[in-house]
Chains A and B, each alone.
Chain A
Amino acid sequence: MRINNTGIKCFPFPNRNGNKRFNIVKMEFKFEEKVEMLDPMEIRRDFPILKKTINGHKLIYFDNAATTQKPLSVIRVIAKFYMEEYANVHRGVHTLSQIASERYEEAREEVARFINAEREEIIFLRNASEALNMIAYTWGLRELKPEDEILTTLMEHHSNITPWINLSEILKFKIKYVGLTENGTLNLKELEEKMTDKTRIVTLTHMSNVIGTINPVKEIAKIAHENNALIIVDGAQSVPHMPIDVKKMDCDFLAFSGHKMLGPTGIGVLYVKKDVLEEMKPTISGGGTIKNVRWMESEETCKIDWAKIPERFEAGTPNIAGAIGLAEAIRYLRKIGMENVRKYEEELLKYTFKEMDQLDKIKIYGPRDPEIRGGIVSFNIGKLNPHQTALILDQYGIAVRSGVHCAEPLHQKIGAENGSVRASYYIYNTKDEIERMIQILKKIEEIA
């Protein structure tokens, strides 16, 4: 028996084709048609850190876009792995190595199921930043020519801007930036206008880490593919908060981090569509990435026979415990159901807007429609510097982030050059916590 991602216990009996997964997926789909709201109070019991007091006040953790807290099940599974199952993976012939390898590969399968990918399409890395860099320095380094262009947007995290700028300085290709509309959505008209037959890559965030905008990546993938370009999706903010299906989205690359979705730090994922990945060669290579390296006496050189995918891209000993912890985090999220996560955060967002609208001096950035926005609210109050607001909130145990959130060009575009205060939500946050923050913001407004 297993628990599917809706929390319903079911027996994974095979269908006529002997395909177990088909039946489970079908059951999940039926259940998702009548989504029920998750119970944050029940969830909070799984997060020991939320009982903590900070500066004499109960912790209110609103910094989830930076990183999320960890449930007991994740903490325990990592401890158990180190206490009972730890060894290095893959080529060890001893039993403990085989156990560790199985656990690591099960984790890969769990990640693949979560985004509807194949296991070979999942590469474990440190985080989304590393994944985005890896695309640039692996695919980009070999494929991009001086006459080529790539398209990105002005709502990107620096991790999806800087590797491309670095690379373009070497390879001399052109980077074009797509701007925003007045209400904080991506300017799709501009995107289409800037797409040419020279465009090789469209690389963009699925959900802005500042203004929460959810970009229509499926539609953008279609435009990119019609123009023979590939599409890279930065899923650091979207994968933890909404259902993701790479096949439906039809993206070629998807990057995300484990620590932003209840998993441990130091583990991230790069999904690459199989036919694209098969053609790629690693930038970081060595242990584990090769089948063999043979000395060719007659040519006086070594010939590399690369390992199969995805191992070809995981050089050295990977973060085994991190992957296992991430898989447990995914199991936790699947029990809640990603539709429920999304719907709950929409509710929190609606509530925030309703309450914040009572404040006179607040400026909220980004779209106001919760259907196209994740649970991220960036704002400023009056003339206060964002760090002043964040430091005041910290005195009341409320953890928010202040600054430009590694998205400086976006802050320039929205007229907040000195940054913003960002409250970002997750499944354990409550309306009462938001209410508490609003009460303090009302007092802050008096001095702003």
Chain B
Amino acid sequence: MNISEYVKRIIRGCGKEADYIIILKINRLDECLKRIIGKMVEKENLGGFYIKGKIENVEVNVFKNGRLLVRGISGEGELERFLLKIFQDKE
């Protein structure tokens, strides 16, 4: 499996902290969101704007239009492994 099945694009947000914005593929959006939200702990719905939570201690922000903001990942390799694990693991 490759993350490109689910991920359209990854943008590294500039700034001191390592933030990644992940654009999910529209045709897999519902499946993706269900998987991600299902794995999140300490979930918070922030004003209906987005859902914030943690997956394996990594902060994940889920926006309903198919954007993820993943914070605290040290590099693209680690991000790819993180995403792969989310999409591969059975619920």
Contacts and interface: CB of A to CB of B under 8 A. Distances in A.
The yes or no verdict on A and B being binding partners is yes
Interface in A345-391: 385-388, 391
A292 interface: no
B47 A408 contact: no
Contact of B63 (A386, A395, A402): A395
Contacts of B17: 385, 418
A394 interface: yes
Contact of B15 (A392, A394, A411, A446): A411
Q: Which bracket fits the contact residues of B?
A: 10 to 19
B64 interface: yes
A388 B17 CA distance: 13
Given A444-B47, A444-B49, A447-B49, A395 B15 contact: no
Nearest to B47: A447
A388 B69 contact: yes
B67 A385 contact: no
Contacts of A248: none
Contacts of A406: 14
Contacts of B67: 391, 394
B16 A391 contact: no
Most buried by B among A411, A418, A444, A446: A418
B22 to A, nearest CB: 11
Q: Which bracket fits the contact residues of A?
A: 20 to 34
B69 A392 contact: no
Q: Is the interface of B mostly helix, strand, loop or mixed?
A: strand
B88 interface: no
A408 B15 CA distance: 7
B47 A446 contact: yes
A388 B46 CA distance: 11
Interface string A314-358: 000000000000000000000000000000000000000000000
B82 to A, nearest CB: 17
A402 B21 CA distance: 11
Interface string B54-67: 00000001011101
A391 B14 contact: no
Query: Considering the complex of A and B, which 10 residue pairs feature the smallest CB-CB distances, nearest first?
Result: A419-B15, A418-B15, A403-B14, A417-B16, A447-B47, A447-B46, A392-B49, A404-B14, A387-B13, A418-B17
Interface of B: 13-17, 19, 21, 46-47, 49-50, 61, 63-65, 67, 69, 71
15 contacts: A385-B71, A387-B21, A388-B50, A392-B49, A392-B50, A394-B63, A395-B65, A404-B15, A408-B15, A417-B15, A418-B16, A418-B17, A443-B47, A443-B49, A444-B49
